[in-house]
Amino acid sequence: MKNTGLLIRTVIIVVITLVGIYLVFGPRRTPTGADFTWQGIKNNLATNINLGLDLKGGSHLVMRVKTEEYLKVLTENNEGAALQAAKEAKDDAGAPLGVTDGSFTAENGNYQVSVNVTDMAKMPAVIDAIKKKVDLVNWTQSSSGNSIIWSLPTQMQAKLKEQATDQALKIIDSRINSFGVKEPTLQRQGSSDSGQILLQMPGVENPERVKELVGQTSRLELTKIVSPPNPTPVQTYPTKEAALQSIGGKESPTRKVLPYADRDTTSSTDPKTPDANKPKQFVVVENPAVVDGSELRDAAAIQGKGGGSDYQISFSFKPSGAQKFGDWTGKNIGNYMAVVLNGEVKSAAYIKSQIFDSGEISGRFTKNTADDLALTLKSGALPASIEYLEERTVGPSLGADSIKAGVTASILGLILVIVFMLFYYRGSGVNAVVALALNMVLTVAALIVFGSTLTLPGIAGLILGIGMAVDSNVLIFERIREEIRLGFSVPESISLGFDRAFVTIIDTHITTIISSVILYVTGSGPIKGFAVTLILGLLINLFTAVFVSRTIFNWELSRNPNMARLSI
């Protein structure tokens, strides 16, 4: 019965060891002879283990979301929406409420929206009409003369800035993950309303493209063009000044002038007329837009009808956006609609029939630009633009030096520990050395299984794990020595030594794991790497220092059940 139990324990150890060795050193394909060479082993290690920025090299970026820009846009949009809502409202007799104009202030921490009325008696009705259509719950309302004023309190400004930064963080995370950056570090930095975000991208070959992708606001809007309906051609103007003259000489909260480059009028493959040199026209559009990018459900790059390098972006709406768009197109059949991207009209077409859930952006994009644009649209528009405060590139040579130093320290520490264990515990020291080597292999294998990133602090955690593993063996061996001195036989001393040391080992491991979990929860990227490596090493040590080590002793006892002396 004892031999059966020993066989089962041995099979478990052998299987786990082989799986661990394969996870660390094996290829993720059918093995070849080259995988068993020194260079092949190094290549497999480099492929299997995710290295952090400090080991692999890459880009370190500290960016800031321009939260004051976000508040300015919010203020401007609220002013336009409030003015439109007030002008569209009627009193009980069906007469206008007498709203003349509006204005906004957005500078030096002062954000205000004001609407002017001609009849003070109708001011409550104007306020009610605006509140029904514009979210001004967080704004403080007041009045001065014939003006209704909404101000954004300082406390609410800080809260909105923090929300804008969190929104940007989620969008950037979505873009980076879709882009394929392996194991990036992305987190808030600085005070809650500073708007700062830290981004580290290990092993990035083209950081400039990632920066460009991260920083794109890619604001999509679908809006009505002020123009006679089809079949009259869409109304365009040769200059911005001409377009402004058509609406009274300046833009208003309900009318804006946008550039429009009709890319489809001339083939982009015509060398004589490159896209950048095509004549730019201007159109007048209504404000606010019918729907914007926040209503998008999905976006994808598709090849144009002409094939080749001509790409377009297909998009679809969420249910709420689809309903809103469907209602609008149903009432505007024959009118022209503009697809506005980042303040430029990309395409203009008339509404042939009611449209609910999808559309396309044409413009002869390349595959890369179409993919990037679809990705930014799908992940959502950034609440505000981004500026880079700090940019560092960590070269792979520095990472190689860190790896070399870490590996050297690990090997040196391991050798010194092995020498001590063999010298002080003699034959039993071999037992500890086997358990220690297996602990290192299985810890690295666990990092690979969980997809964790190995950083320089992670290597420090691995070295500390070696110390903790040795400590467990020392506790067991010293307890066995004590039982032998008390007169127990060798088999009884081994059994008592493991049983009585186990409680102490569990206690030390649990307390250290709790500390490591706190480090992981509260720490940043490198600290988390240290905590993860240490936690995995400690959990695996319970297997190697107790289960594996005891199995080795049991194997020795099975060969000599009446062992009178133990080399320890």
What is the DSSP secondary-structure string of 532-567?
A: HHHHHHHHHHIIIIIIIHHHHHHHHHHH-TT-----
Task: Please give the biggest Cα pair distance in the chain.
Answer: 111
471, burial (CB in 10 Å: exposed 0-12, middle 13-18, buried 19+): middle
CA 476 to chain centre: 45
Per-residue pLDDT tens over the stretch 328-353? 888 888 899 888 877 888 778 788 88
Closest residue by Cα to residue 297 from 214, 382, 217, 374: 374
Within 10 angstroms of residue 122's Cβ, the number of other Cβ atoms is: 19
Helix (H, G, I), strand (E, B) or coil at 21: helix
- Contact (CB, 8 A) for 197 and 189: yes
Per-residue pLDDT tens over the stretch 454-485? 888 888 888 888 888 888 989 999 999 999 99
Helix (H, G, I), strand (E, B) or coil at 428: helix
Token pair, residue 15, equals: 């299987």
Q: Is the pTM of this model over 0.95?
A: no
CA 436 to chain centre: 37
Closest residue by Cα to residue 165 from 137, 187, 183, 185: 187
Most confident segment among 75-89, 232-246, 287-301: 232-246
Token pair, residue 194, equals: 């500073």
Q: Give CA–CA dist 435/426, Å, rounded.
A: 15
Q: Give CA–CA dist 407/269, Å, rounded.
A: 55
Token pair, residue 480, equals: 């066995």
Q: What is the mean pLDDT of residues 446-460?
A: 84
Residue 180 gets the label, from left (phi > 0), alpha (psi -120 to 50) or beta, of: left
> What structural domains does the chain harbor?
2-57+395-559 (1.20.1640.10), 67-157 (3.30.70), 217-367 (3.30.1360.200)
Helical residues (DSSP H) of 268-366, grouped into ranges: 319-331
Q: If pLDDT is split at 50, 70 and 90, which confidence band does 217 have?
A: low
Per-residue pLDDT tens over the stretch 122-175? 888 888 888 887 888 889 999 888 899 999 999 999 988 888 888 888 778 877
**Percent of the chain scored above 70 by pLDDT?**
88
Q: What is the pLDDT of residue 17?
A: 93
